[in-house]
């Protein structure tokens, strides 16, 4: 039995941190080739982290959730999301908050958002002109921001909506490159010296967004929160087992969490799907055949169950992780995993990227092959784009629904093509990874 920190990378921690920020996937490739599917990195200021790409070990982690904390491992997100974010919570507080937040994102509730999502996608795509190029990621970000504003915040018109939209876009775009993302990882860069410094501007935008959200919450409280269909209404109406509602600060921080966790991730994944569908014209052809087989005016939820479309989305999520690893799991006491005995306070980082590229699970892993998901069923520790256990992504069902509905709405009405034939690479964007250049596309006609 080995104890703690297997296969330690020996380069200086500051060098490892720079590499992790600049190229987290290349970093993982290099060291997994050298050390195998469990190795330890040491990031300056963040300590030792054990990267895990072994499905058996990951299965053991997911099935022993109560032995780990994940929230305190996300402390880097606190300056953005706030202290009352689900992502930063552990134990009973996390369980309570998840119970309050879950219902709007699952079951029949989701179906009520389907029509709205299709309308939003149609509105954005209808602005494209034949022969004109556009950046797919930016277009998808417009769609996913609008989905969050309408479906989650319940805002689709009025002064507050008009103010919030550009503020949120500016705020999120503050970390749109590896260099600008550095301030999230290096606390010494987090100095509020006024709006002309990057962190100062970030904080200024945050204060403005908080002000508008607080005003919305107060207005709903004083006017009486009409039981609307949006997520905020449901969150305000939810009560825990002691009859307690969420506080204003909790509501505000959870809205921001959902915005950051749900909007860039979904936009980026849909942009990658467009990229692959238009690189692989055989995939596009098969997808269109499947869509056309449903006929015009079929209800949106029918699209959500199409098998080939589902496989295309699954393969996109396999190939393009939106975050480099899932959340850190910190051992609360010594834990045995895959033959290693990890001390208390060891941080384990299951890597969906390394697992999703294992040749023994995904032959020709570098190729986009949706068929693999039709032919094979993967276990939750072999395929986990949304993480697992008690921390599994809160919005996984909404994200997949949005992906499918945006793709079908646009592909069934418009002919698109890639505007450039050079390969598109992954690049850091804040805490997430996105296509560098955003995938430039062109509308070539209507269907
Ligand atoms: C394609 C889109 C998305 C991907 C790939 C994705 C991926 C993930 C991953 C990997 C985690 C960490 C899970 C773990 O460590 O086990 C996570 C957590 C989370 N996601 Fe997503 N996500 C997406 C969309 C969304 C959406 C649309 C929402 C909100 C509506 C959302 C809200 C959250 C929240 C709140 C958490 C924290 C859960 C917790 O701490 O209990 N995500 N997501």
Give the pLDDT confidence of 392-442 residue by residue, as tens digits: 999 999 999 999 999 999 999 999 999 998 889 888 877 788 898 999 999
Mutate to test the pocket of ligand 1, among 59, 251, 356, 386 (most ligand atoms within 8 A of CB): 386
Atom of ligand 1 nearest to the CA of 388: 16
Atom of ligand 1 nearest to the CA of 390: 41
- The two beta strands, 335-337 and 340-342, are antiparallel
Q: Is the pLDDT of residue 224 over 80?
A: no
Atom of ligand 1 nearest to the CA of 87: 40
- The two beta strands, 335-337 and 414-418, are unpaired
Mutate to test the pocket of ligand 1, among 394, 407, 431, 432 (most ligand atoms within 8 A of CB): 394
- Least confident window among 15-29, 213-227, 393-407: 213-227
- What pLDDT was estimated at residue 426? 86
- What pLDDT was estimated at residue 4? 59
pLDDT grade, residue 225 (50/70/90)? low
Q: Is the dihedral of CA 115, 226, 257, 173 positive or negative?
A: positive
Helices (H), 126-240: 136-147, 159-173, 178-185, 198-223, 231-237
Q: Ligand 1 atom 40: the closest Cα is on which residue?
A: 87
Q: Ligand 1 atom 1: the closest Cα is on which residue?
A: 266
| Ligand 1 centroid from CA 177, angstroms | 21
| Kind and range of the H or E run holding 446 | strand 440-446
pLDDT grade, residue 304 (50/70/90)? confident
- What pLDDT was estimated at residue 202? 82
User: 442 - beta bridge partners?
Assistant: 133, 417
Query: Average of pLDDT values for 134-147?
Result: 95
What residue ranges line ligand 1, CB within 6 angstroms? Answer: 86-87, 98, 105, 257-258, 261-262, 265-266, 269, 322-323, 326-327, 385-388, 391-395, 398-399
Give the list of residues 6+ apart from residue 190 with CB closer than 8 angstroms, or none. Answer: 79, 183, 199
- Burial status of residue 226 (CB atoms within 10 A of its CB: 0-12, 13-18, 19 or more): exposed
Cα separations (Å) of 135 from 138, 325, 359, 419, 436?
Answer: 5, 26, 32, 9, 11
- What pLDDT was estimated at residue 411? 95
- The two beta strands, 335-337 and 329-331, are unpaired
d(Cα 447, Cα 430) in Å, to the nearest integer?
37
Q: How many CB atoms lie within 10 A of CB 401?
A: 24
d(Cα 187, Cα 72) in Å, to the nearest integer?
16
| Pair of tokens at residue 52 | 């895990």
Q: Is the pLDDT of residue 2 over 60?
A: no
Q: What's the maximum distance between 2 C-alpha atoms anywhere in the chain?
A: 64
User: Looking up tokens 């908080």, which residue turns up?
Assistant: 210
Q: Is the pLDDT of residue 26 over 70?
A: yes
User: 347 - beta bridge partners?
Assistant: 49, 330
Cα separations (Å) of 121 from 286, 298, 411?
Answer: 22, 16, 11
Query: Average of pLDDT values for 217-246?
Result: 84
CA angle, residues 431, 435, 439, in degrees to nearest 5: 145
- Least confident window among 189-198, 327-336, 389-398: 189-198
User: Looking up tokens 């018109």, which residue turns up?
Assistant: 157
- Least confident window among 224-228, 274-278, 381-385: 224-228
- Looking at residue 8, what DSSP letter applies? B
| Ligand 1 centroid from CA 213, angstroms | 22
pLDDT grade, residue 189 (50/70/90)? low
> What values do phi and psi take at 207, rounded to 5?
-60, -40
88 vs 178, higher pLDDT: 88
Q: Ligand 1 atom 19: the closest Cα is on which residue?
A: 393
Q: How many CB atoms lie within 10 A of CB 351?
A: 22
Cα separations (Å) of 264 from 163, 271, 431, 435?
Answer: 20, 10, 10, 12
- What pLDDT was estimated at residue 301? 86
Cα separations (Å) of 123 from 101, 146, 147?
Answer: 29, 10, 12
d(Cα 165, Cα 367) in Å, to the nearest integer?
37
d(Cα 103, Cα 234) in Å, to the nearest integer?
8
Q: Is the pLDDT of residue 3 over 70?
A: no
Query: Average of pLDDT values for 176-203?
Result: 69
d(Cα 440, Cα 98) in Å, to the nearest integer?
38
| Pair of tokens at residue 117 | 């999502």
d(Cα 419, Cα 261) in Å, to the nearest integer?
29
- Looking at residue 74, what DSSP letter applies? G
| Kind and range of the H or E run holding 357 | none
- What pLDDT was estimated at residue 184? 66
| Ligand 1 centroid from CA 411, angstroms | 26
- Burial status of residue 126 (CB atoms within 10 A of its CB: 0-12, 13-18, 19 or more): exposed
User: 2-446 architecture in CATH?
Assistant: Orthogonal Bundle (1.10)
> Whole-number mean pLDDT of the chain?
90
Query: Average of pLDDT values for 39-50?
Result: 92
Atom of ligand 1 nearest to the CA of 105: 30
422 vs 269, higher pLDDT: 269
Whether residue 65 contacts residue 335, with contact meaning beta carbons closer than 8 Å, is answered with: no
Q: Is the pLDDT of residue 132 over 60?
A: yes
Q: Is the pLDDT of residue 186 over 90?
A: no
- What pLDDT was estimated at residue 193? 72
pLDDT grade, residue 176 (50/70/90)? low
Q: Is the dihedral of CA 48, 49, 54, 57 positive or negative?
A: positive
Q: Where are the beta strands (DSSP E) in 28-160?
A: 38-43, 47-52, 68-69, 133-135
């Amino acid at each position: 039995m080995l104890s703690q920190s297997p296969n330690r990378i020996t380069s200086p921690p500051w060098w490892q941190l720079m590499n992790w920020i600049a190229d987290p996937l290349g970093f993982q490739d290099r060291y997994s080739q050298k050390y195998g599917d469990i190795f330890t990195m040491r990031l300056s200021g963040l300590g030792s982290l054990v990267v895990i790409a072994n499905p058996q070990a990951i299965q053991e982690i997911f099935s022993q959730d109560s032995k780990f904390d994940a929230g305190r491992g996300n402390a880097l997100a606190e300056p953005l999301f706030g202290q009352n974010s689900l992502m930063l919570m552990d134990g009973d507080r996390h369980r309570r908050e998840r119970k309050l937040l879950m219902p709007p994102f699952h079951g029949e509730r989701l179906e009520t958002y389907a029509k709205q999502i299709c309308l939003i996608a149609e509105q954005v795509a209808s602005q494209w002109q034949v022969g004109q190029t556009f950046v797919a990621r930016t277009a998808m970000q417009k769609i996913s921001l609008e989905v969050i504003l309408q479906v989650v915040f319940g805002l689709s018109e009025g002064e507050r909506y008009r103010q919030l939209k550009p503020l949120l876009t500016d705020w999120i775009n503050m970390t749109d490159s590896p260099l600008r993302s550095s301030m999230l990882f290096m606390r010494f860069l987090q100095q509020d010296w006024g709006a002309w410094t990057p962190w100062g501007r970030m904080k200024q935008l945050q204060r403005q967004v908080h002000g508008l959200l607080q005003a919305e919450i107060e207005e709903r409280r004083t006017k009486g929160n009409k039981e609307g269909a949006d997520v905020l209404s449901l969150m305000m109406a939810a009560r825990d087992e002691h009859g307690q509602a969420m506080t204003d600060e909790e509501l505000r921080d959870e809205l921001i969490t959902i915005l950051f966790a749900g909007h860039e991730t979904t936009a980026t994944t849909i942009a990658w799907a467009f990229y692959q569908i238009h690189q692989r014209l055989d995939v596009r052809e098969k997808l269109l055949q499947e869509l056309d087989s449903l006929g015009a005016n079929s209800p949106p939820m029918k699209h959500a169950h199409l098998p080939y479309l589902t496989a295309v989305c699954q393969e996109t999520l396999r190939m393009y992780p939106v975050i480099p690893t899932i959340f850190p799991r910190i051992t609360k006491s010594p834990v045995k995993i895959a033959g290693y005995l990890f001390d208390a306070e060891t941080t384990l980082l299951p890597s969906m990227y390394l697992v999703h590229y294992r040749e023994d699970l995904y032959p020709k892993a570098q190729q986009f092959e949706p068929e693999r998901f039709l032919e094979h069923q993967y276990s939750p520790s072999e395929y986990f784009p949304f993480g697992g256990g008690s921390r599994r992504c809160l919005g996984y069902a909404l994200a997949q629904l949005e992906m499918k509905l945006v793709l079908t709405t646009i592909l069934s009405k418009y002919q698109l093509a890639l505007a450039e034939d050079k390969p598109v690479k992954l690049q850091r964007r804040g805490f997430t990874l996105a296509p560098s250049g955003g995938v430039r596309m062109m509308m070539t006609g209507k269907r």
